[in-house]
Structure 1
Amino acid sequence: MLAWLITADVITVDGAFVTAQQYSEKVRIWSPDGTSAVLGDMGGLRCLGGTRVGGRTLIIAGGSGVKVWDAADGTEAGHVDTRGHDVTALGSADIDGRRVLVTSGNDGVLRIWDESDLA
């Protein structure tokens, strides 16, 4: 059984659960046996997503910016400078043969980021 926590979001990536914990601002990856590892902290943590870029599965967290982790080994793979815009929702898609990240925030504006923005 998974431990109790206040959750902002839950996704599944490659057979594991990933949670965004409110108040502690931690992104955790959970194995099927209920053990977990903290991937990192995210200020203002609001949402999670997963995507594949360049053959890698990535975990993406939004809040006061965007952070990215490699799902295979849990290492931080980059971030997106959202230029001061808080992120409350995110997703990814293929547009014209390229992978993009789409974010939205309290201002209601959709922003599209190219995979090269995952610096």
Structure 2
Amino acid sequence: MSKIVITSPKAPAAIGTYSQAIRAGNTVYLSGQIPLNPQTMELVEGFEAQTVQVFENLKAVIEASGGYMSNLVKLNIFLTDLSHFATVNDVMSRYFEQPYPARAAIGVAALPRGAQVEMDGILVLE
């Protein structure tokens, strides 16, 4: 099976040895996105703003793959403070309708660049 690299200029450029996403067949594996503004490559301020930026970054890569947010079947959320979980749910409700993707929320000690939230996921294209 061939792999196709997915990139979007509307999402932050990779800051390491990875691709924004890889398509294998009709499945797209999205790398973790942190709340970097893609134009400045600077972290946005505030937890809610960071969460929105992460969803916008994921959305940009998803659209570059030819998909939609509704094609997301699995979402992993990494939080440095699990007390922000209600905010994540609120912001997520702006991007998804039922049926929601399968999801995990994981508390972590730290994230790259001091981010408070990171997300990755799996997308299945029609």
Question: Quick check: which one's helix share is greater?
Answer: 2
TM-score by length of 2: 0.27
- Indicate the structure with greater strand content: 1
| Higher RCO (CA 8 Å, separation ≥ 6 residues) | 2
